[in-house]
Amino acid sequence: MLSGLRVLVVEDVPAIRTLIRAFLELEGAAVIEAGTAREALAVAATCDFDVVLTDLVLPDVPGEAVITHIRALSRGRTAVAVLSGAGPHALSVALTLGAERVFRKPLAWEEIVAYLAERTRHPADGLVATETEKSMRVLIIEDDAAMRALLRDVLERAGHRVVERGDGVGLPALIEQEPFDAVVLDKEMPGVNGLDLLAFLRQRLPAVPVIFITAFGGRPVAEEAARRGAFSYLEKPFRVDTILDTLAAVHMYRIGVEPGS
């Protein structure tokens, strides 16, 4: 049923890891095991996989990092599913970060096999980036250090060059000194808020698309962002693929092609 499917299993409990591998190999999958996040990422850097099955609780680095790194490293071609006993909030965060499916422990084998069988019939297409797209220079303005680091990591692994700031202080001098192809801008910021920064950027850099992100949105904020010239509006939490797709649309805009044409 899973013949030819390449699967990486990331699980720190050897007995569970061995059981998953044996079960999947009986179904015809080719399986490699990793007991830590670092081991998994090292393997993924040298081998291609169709699916990564990962726990969220790992001994070195949280499983969420496996999700973001694998999705970025593979340009979205490798699907990631979570096998975990974590609570609803952690599983929701995993989906936001790019996990395609979550399976709660104790595992229901028939559900996992059905999911993997579907992956053999419909493999992930991923995001195919051109060299021009990969060379985009992106400015991230986000006051949340963890979110800023996550965005930087994902975008750099996707081939983009990133400059980051935690607020709008020094922005006028920065945009005079460095050229940018796109800006990712948060709404909630100390000092000058994101909407005012959006208006400033559209006035000073009218040709540079601004992707406006916020956890405190709704229709009024979306409409105001559009009125002030935002290229796109994303509400947190959003999936990693969403920001990469939006930057791909920015690239199409820059070269004068309508997205989807």
143 part of a folded domain? yes
Integer angstrom CA distances of residue 84 from 75, 81, 114: 24, 10, 18
Mind listing the pLDDT tens digit for each residue in 107-156?
888 899 999 998 887 665 444 444 444 578 999 999 988 888 888 888 88
The whole-chain average pLDDT of the chain stands at 86
The verdict on residue 126 lying in a domain is no
> Is residue 60 domain-shared with residue 168, that is, in the same domain?
no
135 and 235 in one domain? yes
CA distance readout (Å), 104 to 111, 136, 185: 11, 39, 35
Of 103, 121, 139, the residue that ends a domain is 121
Domain co-membership, 111 together with 135: no
pLDDT single digits (tens) 190-204: 888 999 999 999 999
**1 within domain boundaries:** no
Could you say which of 73, 98, 121 is where a domain stops?
121
Indicate whether 258 pLDDT > 50: no
Q: Identify the CA nearest to 123 among candidates 157, 100, 92.
A: 100
Q: Quick check: is 202 in a domain?
A: yes
Over residues 231-237, the mean pLDDT reads 87
Statement to judge: residues 202 and 164 lie in one domain: yes
260 lies in some domain: no
Residue 73: give the domain boundaries. Answer: 6-121
Res 134: pLDDT: 52
CATH number of the domain encompassing residue 51: 3.40.50.2300
Tell me the percentage of the chain whose pLDDT exceeds 90: 47
pTM of the model: 0.54
pLDDT attached to residue 201: 95
Question: Does pLDDT of 206 surpass 70?
Answer: yes
152-166 tens-digit pLDDT: 888 887 889 999 999
Of 121, 145, 180, which residue sits at a domain end?
121
Residues 216 and 247 in one domain: yes
Residue 184 one-letter amino acid: V
